[in-house]
Amino acid sequence: MAPEDSLNPQPSQGNLFAQPSMVEVTVFHEAITMGDTTTVISYLNKYRKNEIVNVHNSLGVTALMKAAMGGNNDIITLLLERGADIDLQNRGNDRATALMYAVLFDHKDTVMLLLDKGADINAHTSHDWTALMYSARGGHDGILTLLLTRGADSTAKNHLGQTALELAQAGYSAKAEAILQQWPERQKQCIIRQKEQQNAEAAQDAAIAHLEKLRKHQSVKTALKKPPPPKP
């Protein structure tokens, strides 16, 4: 097998109908935690219809959640290619997603990867916590800014009626508090800049169209001014 194919081999002719045992799920998840790609791939190939990808282990988490906890982006990409449900919730009391685990463990690159792959940025737990709230409470300022710029709802409230800002104000992170306090104004300025850029682009397009119209008009005038060909 070529080196570039080692992380994404084609599925084998595994057992189409077999269901993984909880022991196998545990070994599969341990391989993800250890970054053992070879073992991960062998289990993915064994279960052709991806039964093992979205199975919750005895603690209620999935393979994608385990990979998000460890920030293992190569395995995350592999799992998603093999059918992992990016927004599947755990079976604990909180009903967290893989994105939330990436935030909790402060893996900014993993958060970015999951967002790029379509993770629901405003998904909420059974207690209405969002990824943004976890980043505010944990003081993960880089992730907090990333989530805001990617469209996280800073006005969402948890089951206690707290927003991300109020969680930060509760003493979890002074820097997170400052970021969230300044965000509405930053967002307003971003919108103004976007509109200015759109207006500038529209004006440029209009100018180009006008020049093209003048060029065609001049071409017609030039053609009309040409003397007729001499009579034979």
Instruction: Check whether residue 153 and residue 176 sit in a common domain.
Output: yes
Chain-centroid distance of CA 166 in Å reads 25
Look at 155 and 220; give whichever has higher pLDDT: 155
Instruction: Check whether residue 70 and residue 110 sit in a common domain.
Output: no
Residue 120 placed within a domain: yes
Instruction: Check whether residue 101 and residue 196 sit in a common domain.
Output: yes
pLDDT digits (tens, 9 = 90+) for 161-175: 999 999 988 866 788
DSSP letters along 160-211, please? TS--HHHHIIIII-HHHHHHHHHHHHHHHHHHHHHHHHHHHHHHHHHHHHHH
Residues 6+ apart with CB under 8 A from 76: 64, 67, 68, 98, 110, 113, 114
CATH value at residue 202? 1.25.40.20
Average pLDDT over residues 1-29: 63
Instruction: Check whether residue 124 and residue 142 sit in a common domain.
Output: yes
Instruction: Check whether residue 71 and residue 155 sit in a common domain.
Output: no
Burial group, residue 143, by CB count within 10 angstroms (0-12, 13-18, 19+): buried
3-state secondary structure of 130: strand
Mean pLDDT of the chain: 83
Instruction: Check whether residue 55 and residue 75 sit in a common domain.
Output: yes
> At residue 190, does pLDDT exceed 70?
no
Structural domains of the chain, count: 2
Straight-line distance from the first to the last Cα atom of the chain, in angstroms, rounded to the nearest whole number:
78
Instruction: Check whether residue 108 and residue 142 sit in a common domain.
Output: yes
Angle at 97 between CA 121 and CA 146, to 5 degrees: 35
The CA-atom distances, in angstroms, between 196 and each of 44, 89, 190, 200 are 50, 41, 10, 6
Average pLDDT over residues 190-216: 68
Instruction: Check whether residue 153 and residue 208 sit in a common domain.
Output: yes
Instruction: Assign 208 a pLDDT band (cuts: 50, 70, 90).
Output: confident
- For residues 205 and 173, give the distance between their C-alpha atoms in angstroms, rounded to a whole number: 46
Instruction: Check whether residue 97 and residue 209 sit in a common domain.
Output: yes
CB 165 within 8 A of CB 133: no
Domain stop point among 85, 103, 123:
85
Residues 6+ apart with CB under 8 A from 144: 132, 135, 136, 164, 176, 179, 180
Residue at 52: amino acid letter:
I
Instruction: Check whether residue 118 and residue 67 sit in a common domain.
Output: no
Instruction: Check whether residue 18 and residue 116 sit in a common domain.
Output: no
Domain stop point among 85, 114, 139:
85
Instruction: Assign 211 a pLDDT band (cuts: 50, 70, 90).
Output: confident
Helix boundaries (H) for 105-173: 108-116, 131-138, 141-149, 164-167
Instruction: Assign 8 a pLDDT band (cuts: 50, 70, 90).
Output: very low
CB 102 within 8 A of CB 127: no
Question: What range does the domain containing 49 cover?
Answer: 1-85
> At residue 121, does pLDDT exceed 70?
yes
Instruction: Check whether residue 202 and residue 137 sit in a common domain.
Output: yes
- For residues 107 and 69, give the distance between their C-alpha atoms in angstroms, rounded to a whole number: 8
